[in-house]
A and B are shown apart, each in its own frame.
Chain A
Amino acid sequence: MTEKEEFVEELSGLLEDNATELKKQWVKEMTEMGLLEKLSSLEIEQQSTAIYDTCVLTIKTGMYEAAKKYAREMAKKGVLEAMTVDQIIMGMLKLRDVYGRFIFYKYQKDVEKLYKVLGVYEPVANRILSIVALAFVEEREMKITDQQQAMLTLSTPVLQIRDQILVLPLIGTIDSARAAQIVEQLLNSIVDTQASVVIIDITGVPIIDTAVANHLIKTIQAAKMLGADTIITGISPANAQTLVTLGVDLSMMTTRGSLRSGVKLADEMLKLVVMEKR
């Protein structure tokens, strides 16, 4: 056993032996700082035991896996929901203080040994703190990515305005990732709602280039294969001019100037069927 290993064993042994007392001290100090206000005493007991044990285990084994796993779980649960990130990190700092002061107290007679034990303790304590902080940052980043994904879906709502009519108002720039997502969403909506006319309103799309035009044509054709007709509304004169210049065949599309006239046309298309029935 190396000298360092000896210290590790001695230190973790000390922390284990004095667990009850040190934990009590820690909880007391956190309570005084008002960090645990919203927790029940059972929660305090469970969480402090779990955190305390994880820290001792990490010091003992030098393996951070358990600490990482625990920190991730804490972060995911929004920890104890009732605590803010600030409170959690303050709590961890407090635990570091409690351990630290205990070590000072134990080795006050032997400063040389104190330094060596601190040499084992400090890096582990710092590392645990950075793991906890990181877990929270990562959790937050993951939430943001999820939200962005949700926004992407939200930004292209498919609206059912009549029994068999869907309206898809497109807003903003359309890159190919978004275009692919829109096409899939629209086709699924057609089947889900059994809509026979789809109006795609592109008033809110600033630039229509060949790529966007191709996506539109693709959408129209796939919708047609399902059995639904598509009307494109809101092509500005400038955009129409660009499309023609680019060589896009506008005759492949049924177009109307405004969303209103598009809806009117859709009604007519459906009414045509109704009238024939008589």
Chain B
Amino acid sequence: MAIIDPRHAAKQLIYERVFRSATLSAAILVLLILGGVAMSLLRGAWPAISHFGFSFVAREIWNPVTDEFGALAPIYGTVVTSVIAMLLAVPTGFGIALFLTELCPPLLKRPIGVAVELLAAVPSIIFGIWGLFVLAPVLQRHVQPWLIAHLGHIVLVGKLFKGPPFGIGILTAGVVLAIMVLPFIAATLRDVFDTVPAMLKESGYALGATTWEVMWNVVVPHSRVGIVGGIMLGLGRALGETMAVTFVIGNAHRISSSLLAPGTTISSAIANEFTEAVGDLYTSSLIALGLLLFLITFTVIAAAQAMLRRLERRSGAAV
């Protein structure tokens, strides 16, 4: 056994090399694709960028007739709908995940878990149709009038809930997005909470802590990194979601102080208008919107990474 056949060793060396270069080229391919996407976006967007300059991101106007384009309304819509979605989905997802890992009777654990995963598998067009025909009318008839009546008079906050209840609009898009990202957040957080060692949780209980105290003071801090990851996964999806949002947002290039008013997002503007875009500047402006979405998503991911690094450094645990 101790004698190594030199031919065999040489063969192994070759396998090793082939394997290494195969995996290396796969890794490089990713970089090439990413670079290619960025380059072609930049090239397509160039006419708009050179024509409008910085004012492209600072102006609300969007007029194909006079060939004047500004991206402020879609940027605003993208950010605000995503913020609404996260405000609704993160606490709910937290609750679902904590319930599933700590409180749920074992018999219900699987059915609820499967339901959450099925919700994640529903195609976004279904959410769009459902949002338009079911959710929007319900919000219009029951929820929005209530918001207008009860929150509309409060200083500052009141502005967000003024005007007629359109049904479709920024708020509805945010709600639909929340429902769409909820299963991702809940499932990721559940998996994260599941990895907390039983012994660590028992250490909390052993001091007389209640379930809630163990969850809040032990499970959550232990899972910080994973929680940030789960939330970012949800945010990434919310920022880029197109189909469902296009159905329910109203597609108006306008920034209204009210969340009940129609608006638009970057991705829904592109999806809506790309086929009808006549003229180079119009097309190029839409591509420039795409480039902006690329940058926003990139910034979010970079911020998440920086945050994770800070968390890790602070915990100082080399384990």
A, B assembled together? no
Interface, chain B (partner A; CB < 8 A):
none
